[in-house]
A = this chain, B = another copy of it.
Amino acid sequence: MNKVYLMTPGPTPVPDKIRRAESQEIIHHRTKEHSEIFKRVSDNLKPIFKTKNPVLTFASSGTGAMEGSVINTLSSGDKVLIPIVGKFSERWVEICEAYGVEVVSVEVEWGNVVEPEVIKEHLDNDPDIKAVFTTLCETSAGVVCPIKEYGEIIKNRPNTILVVDAISGLGACDIQNDEWGVDICVSGSQKGLMMPPGLAFASVSDKARGFIEHSNLPKYYFDWKKALKSWEKADTPYTPAVSLIVALDEALKMLNEEGIDNVLARHSVLADAMRAAMKSMGLELLSSNYPSNTVTAVKVPDGVDGIELKNVLDKKYGIKIAGGQSHLKGKIFRVAHLGYMGEFDVITAISAIELTLKGLGYSVELGSGVRAAEEVFLK
């Protein structure tokens, strides 16, 4: 038997109900039946995004919606500000540079975030900055950025929009798009939404729509003017990924029945428990100040090989986690508690980490991590 536990920050486990919905007989996308589903899905995405604005759905990975938010709001030669806190914020830089957008970046060591005052200073000194592209949960470092504070700085500036990559964050880390003044919030299906990959999303504020009117960067498949126009009629400009839309209908039903704030509270408890367990075992978190509720990044302790740790967890115990990326390869491991996850998924992961560390010669009291997590659950 090889029982597998998917504890990676996406794809995350897909509940049986959602997979069954995905496997229903296919329907045609230019029908009343599909329109009704698409309309319901569009409505039910709103509470998850905490917005009254349209949330567009695309057949692509999340990166497609990231690219869309650059090419639909900016024009050639525009200047933008990008706080870099890990691998995925670097993607914003790459996309902007691919389209001749001038990038001003502020970089911090992985595990930290760019302080809101730094953003404010840049915007005060350079009124030409058209957009700030940032990240809710930076998966590579397991940190959550202060989006609310960024929003406070940006929302009253008519010439600057705030764009957030919430691909791994949505549904685990709170993001109140309307309340906080986020203009575009991008996400993907295979994370907090408990879906297979293949769908991308973007909420679009009125302010962002003003930018879209004037953008001159070239686009076709990801043309949001067309997408917004179709969206009004519960349609898409190009063939939607029908089976994934039908599955999403089920996923959103589940999430909205639980209620987004309960979903977020559940993730908060699971993340607290994971962090308490890691600390109780003498391990150090990569980010002590800004740990994300999506994924916990833990430093590999001295004397343990990080690659081997990941391999033993996988091969011996069936626990799929993520390793470190780029310069942190082998130096951290990352355990996700994202999506279709409850207390005992976290207990399973902690127990397997205890067993693995013990096996690799690290001194750990068996059961101590599990105990720390249980104490959090009982609070």
Q: How far is the CA of A29 from the CA of B24 in the complex (A)?
A: 24
B244 touching A63 by the CB < 8 A rule? no
CB-defined contacts of A240 to chain B, threshold 8 Å: 61, 197
**B198, A243: Cβ atoms under 8 Å?**
yes
Contact digits for A1-45, partner B, Cβ 8 Å, 1 yes 0 no: 000101010111110000110111111110100000000000000
A218 touches B221 (CB 8 A): no
For the complex formed, measure the closest distance between the CB of A109 and the CB atoms of chain B, giving whole angstroms. 25
Please provide the chain A residues from 150 to 197 with a CB less than 8 Å away from any CB of chain B in the complex.
188, 190, 196-197
One digit per residue, 1 when the CB lies within 8 angstroms of any chain B CB and 0 when it does not, for chain A 227-266 equals 0000000000011111110000000000000000000000
Interface of A is mostly: loop
Chain A 60-78 per-residue mask, 1 if CB under 8 angstroms from chain B, else 0: 1111100100000000000
For chain A, the bracket of interface size reads 35 or more
Segment at the B interface, from A94-102, A141-149, A276-284, A352-360: A94-102
CB distance from A222 to the nearest CB of B (A): 7
Chain A 182-225 interface 0/1 with B at a Cβ cutoff of 8 Å (1 = within) = 00000010100000111000000000000000000111111100
CA distance A190 to B239 in the complex (A): 9
Chain B residues near A85 (CB-CB < 8 A)? none
Assuming the contacts A59-B61, A197-B59, asked whether A98 and B6 have C-beta atoms less than 8 A apart, the reply is: no
A299 at the interface (CB under 8 A from B): no
A238's partner among B27, B31, B61, B220 (CB-CB below 8 A) is B61
Q: How far is the CB of A27 from chain B (nearest CB, A)?
A: 8
Q: Which A residues lie at the B interface, using CB under 8 A?
A: 4, 6, 8, 10-14, 19-20, 22-29, 31, 59-64, 67, 94-95, 98-100, 188, 190, 196-198, 217-223, 238-244, 320
